[in-house]
Homo-oligomer: A and B are copies of this chain.
């Protein structure tokens, strides 16, 4: 399929921290799964298109990367709100997750993918269970994802990593390379040293990244100090994990040494500002991490601690929270924010040719409708994009050169059926959990 998007305002991608570039009256040419051209209309090459999309009044930009989520948890949306983290996990989340089935995970995955596509997310990084089901949902929907089977291992019972290796062998680079696999130890506190060393070994053997929760809460930080005499980042360094690509979710409780270590090692920080507020974990020192040269990306976390998958909310919240918390309005630029939501995430997922609209790059892009009252007037497009735009402004979402969402219409999902199945599976999941609690 060859698609021409014409008469569009183009944001080809963020390449520095100071400014977001825009090109008016541009054209994007998509040939199969890749960008053939993205630039001024006047300079576009001859191109026989199967479909022409009029982008008048819209912004074409790289699709968003939701870099930390647990997609099937959409079925648990709004469960356990306003509880302490301990009660949220032990009374609300864990008792239900014990009763997950393949069917529930498939239904939750489809629902999450449907929501992400609507709000302009074109790829996501996930850690959960029943991952064959989630991989099938990604394959069938046309989405792009980095998937990891979560390893929770208090007693070395998971130390053979069998489900992780099986997932890699079956799915890594599958579905036209839209699916990639990570190794996903839950956290310092929820895994044994033995399993982390096995994971380091597997990361080396299979060349896959490691996705792990790091210093999400004060308790994580203090616990690691008590157990190991080391902060979680220091512990990962000691075990040699940081010699491999590490995607570290949260990083709320970080010492200056932790930040310096992650910057030096090129660890990618997966920042989830909304979830960190909702679970009262705190406010990650993102302004400081950016200054130190850390790689910052953005995520929603699972919907049970958010409670949606609209990455535009995180885009606005990331700079706002840093300004308010440091009492310095100049920290965290729009360019740094959009980079975190697009190019930095794409790179952390292991793609060298994703996250920007450049010839040869994978065609993951969105069209943003700029015509709303809330985007008028356009005195400063960068500011409007980061501080005024709504997830609902997304008019079109394309992954791998294929339009998956456009003006309320999905091409690979049937919304009525996705919603119906999700409601049904959520209902029976909660019922099983309630029965078991009796």
Contacts and interface: CB of A to CB of B under 8 A. Distances in A.
Interface of A: 74-79, 81-85, 88, 111, 114-115, 118-119, 218, 274, 276-283, 303, 306-310, 313, 316-317, 319-321, 323-330, 333-334, 371-374, 376-380, 382-384, 387-388, 390-392, 415, 418-419, 422-423, 426-427, 430
A420 B1 CA distance: 38
A383 B80 CA distance: 9
Given A324-B282, A327-B280, A379 B84 contact: no
Contacts of A119: 374
A280 B218 contact: no
A115 B329 CA distance: 26
Nearest to A410: B373
Q: Tell me the interface secondary structure of chain A in the complex.
A: helix
Nearest to A116: B373
Given A329-B84, A330-B84, A377 B218 contact: no
Contact of A323 (B118, B277, B377): B277
A387 B101 CA distance: 27
A118 B280 CA distance: 32
Contact of A282 (B274, B327, B387, B392): B327
Contacts of A419: 371, 373, 376
Given A310-B390, A390-B392, A323 B278 contact: yes
A376 B326 CA distance: 36
A-B complex: 7 closest residue pairs judged by Cβ atoms: A277-B324, A392-B392, A78-B383, A78-B380, A280-B329, A115-B373, A377-B426
B373 A114 contact: yes
A83 B330 contact: yes
Most buried by B among A218, A380, A382: A380
Contacts of A303: 388
A332 to B, nearest CB: 8
A279 B328 CA distance: 8
Given A83-B330, A307-B383, A376 B280 contact: no
Nearest to A252: B324
Contacts of A422: 376-377
A324 B88 CA distance: 15
Given A320-B274, A392-B390, A77 B282 contact: no
Most buried by B among A85, A88, A281, A376: A376
Given A277-B320, A380-B78, A307 B111 contact: no
10 contacts: A74-B377, A81-B380, A82-B383, A278-B387, A308-B387, A373-B415, A378-B423, A379-B426, A390-B390, A391-B392
Nearest to A115: B373
Nearest to A83: B329
A329 B278 contact: yes
Given A277-B320, A324-B277, A377-B75, A81 B111 contact: no
Contact of A329 (B88, B114, B321, B387): B88
A76 B377 CA distance: 8
A83 to B, nearest CB: 6
B310 A278 contact: no
